[in-house]
Chain A
Amino acid sequence: MKGREEAWVAAVVADPRYHALVVARARLGWLLSIIIFTAFAGYLLLIAFDKALLGAPIGTGVTSIGIPVGLGLILLAIALTGVYVAHANRHHDARMAAILSDHAPAQEYDA
């Protein structure tokens, strides 16, 4: 039983589709992380070095530019989470399931 499981793992690891999936998954994760990190770091730098810009009112009103910028950051975090979850559920899980079932041992496997 143990040997069968090891053979399965070896077959999956040898599959080029598996490596493509790992690379694609890591790329998406790092890309989205860099986007959110850059946005937040930029926001902090803006607060540190140009407070006046964030405090400036929009047009002639009292609402400052900082309000939509801050809200935008919150909405960006929510949107990127949505992008990641949708992509992982739609593509990554399906690709992984396909690879696993292609190499699955012929006999009924009790995971």
Chain B
Amino acid sequence: MKGFVAALALLFPVPAFAAALEGEAQRQPLNLVAILMFVAFVGLTLWITKAAAARTRTASDFYTAGGGISGFQNGLAMAGDYMSAASFLGISAQIFNDGYDGLIYSTGFLVGWPILLFLMAERLRNLGRYTFADVASYRFAQPPVRSFAAVSTLLVVSFYLIAQMVGAGQLIKLLFGLPYAVAVVIVGALMMLYVLFGGMRATTWVQIIKAVLLLGGASFMALMVLAQMGFSLEALFARAVEVKTEAAL
């Protein structure tokens, strides 16, 4: 197995600039609790994917879970998408690094979402289409609209995917002490497993679990950090200023 993974890593040679992506994450001593939690989560979500795959029969099952996802479930799933480890860790890191600039960045993409809701969401629902490309091709010539949508989606997703895979690869490298290239290949293989076999139903449930875990975990962390400071924001900021003396603004 180990030889196989190493062979896979050789098949995908790491470009020179990947050194920059590797960052400064050091290999940590074996963290058994973290590894057990990671394996348990991957195991649970793969089991859900398998269960969902058994129930997927038609294209509608695969793409929209047969329309069987309630508004609340879908909301949680989208929250799970939004609160990915990358945004959670990335924003924390950016605020740590750049101070207030991190907060500005995090308001920027939040503010766009309500406008989409106010102006677009109801029209999409009333038309009964799934995506913006569906709506546009309902009105305009199909082939050019669909090709444009596909190309721009793939372009955006590939950049997004790179960031996600770098983050997840670093995480696995940290947890298991694997070489970075191997970690990225494992992450990519897991991602493909989830989506190829589970379709929308499994993806949605995995996102729901992720949202609940992240909401619970981040709230718990925030609460415990505040508890350390006697529930005083002022004390928290005073301590932050002590630790990090450069002014951000």
Contact = CB atoms under 8 A, between A and B. Distances in A.
B237 A36 contact: no
A46 to B, nearest CB: 10
B127 interface: no
Contacts of B104: 47, 70
Interface in B46-76: none
Interface in A55-111: 55, 61-64, 66-67, 70, 73-74, 77, 80-81, 84-85, 88, 92
A32 B114 contact: yes
Given A32-B118, A62-B241, A54 B249 contact: yes
Given A32-B118, A70-B107, A61 B234 contact: yes
Contacts of B234: 61-63
B102 to A, nearest CB: 10
Nearest to B242: A62
The binding surface of chain B is classed by DSSP as helix
The binding surface of chain A is classed by DSSP as helix
Nearest to B241: A62
Given A29-B118, A80-B114, A62 B238 contact: yes
B118 A33 contact: yes
Interface in A22-48: 25, 28-30, 32-33, 36-37, 39-40, 43, 47
B111 interface: yes
Given A61-B238, A63-B237, A64-B249, A36 B114 contact: yes
B108 to A, nearest CB: 8
A81 B237 CA distance: 30
A51 interface: yes
A30 B118 CA distance: 7
Interface in B102-149: 103-104, 106-108, 110-111, 113-115, 117-119, 122
Contacts of A73: 107, 111
Interface of A: 25, 28-30, 32-33, 36-37, 39-40, 43, 47, 51, 54-55, 61-64, 66-67, 70, 73-74, 77, 80-81, 84-85, 88, 92
Given A33-B118, A47-B104, 18 more contacts: A28-B118, A29-B118, A30-B118, A33-B119, A36-B115, A62-B241, A63-B233, A63-B237, A66-B103, A67-B237, A70-B104, A73-B111, A74-B106, A80-B118, A81-B113, A81-B117, A84-B117, A84-B118
